[in-house]
């Protein structure tokens, strides 16, 4: 797919539940209890259990590989974590919505995506930028 500067990418929505966070803790090795223990999370002043920032970043990676249609296209991915993603103890959990705009397309086929990630109406990432090599 040929991208153009300024092009908007379609919305992708990912559901996040407590079970996802437990599975991610095990797979990543990040067992910080604020990501699975309500008592600890509330005790440090959070609204409740929050997603690993790295889980949200992994979803950003999925959004981009989904748009591009290529799982190995990402050359560079960087984000700033601006707000936590609270994950309630319900079957539905919460949702993170991703959109993006193409910031640039280089002559050698590198495409830069500027991502927006929204949870419960708030931006949870800033400066979320992903560079892919165009196929």
Q: Which residues bind other proteins (CB under 8 A)?
A: 14, 20, 23-24, 26-30, 44, 53-55, 57-59, 61-62, 64-65, 71-72, 74-81, 127
DSSP characters for 22-49? HHHHHHH----GGGT-HHHHHHTT-SS-
What's the min distance (Å) between Cβ of 96 and other proteins? 11
- Kindly tell me which of 82 and 99 has the beta carbon lying closer to other proteins: 82
- Kindly tell me which of 73 and 118 has the beta carbon lying closer to other proteins: 73
What's the min distance (Å) between Cβ of 95 and other proteins? 13
Biggest CA pair distance of the chain? 52
- Kindly tell me which of 10 and 45 has the beta carbon lying closer to other proteins: 45
- Tracing tokens 């559901």 back to the chain, one arrives at 15
CA atoms within 13 A on the CB side of 95: 9
- Kindly tell me which of 28 and 104 has the beta carbon lying closer to other proteins: 28
Hey, how many other C-beta atoms are within 10 angstroms of the C-beta on 80? Answer: 10
């Amino acid at each position: 797919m040929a991208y153009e500067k300024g092009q908007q990418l379609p919305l992708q929505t990912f559901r996040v539940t407590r079970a996802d966070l437990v599975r991610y803790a095990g797979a990543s090795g990040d067992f910080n209890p604020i990501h699975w223990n309500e008592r600890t999370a509330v005790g440090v002043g959070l609204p409740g259990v929050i997603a690993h920032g790295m889980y949200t970043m992994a979803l950003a990676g999925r959004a981009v590989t989904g748009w591009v249609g290529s799982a190995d296209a990402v050359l560079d991915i960087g984000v700033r974590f601006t707000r936590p993603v609270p994950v309630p103890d319900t079957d539905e959990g919460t949702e993170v919505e991703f959109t993006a705009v193409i910031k640039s397309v280089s002559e050698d086929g590198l495409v830069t995506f500027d991502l927006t990630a929204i949870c419960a109406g708030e931006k949870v990432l800033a400066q979320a930028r992903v560079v892919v090599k165009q196929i």
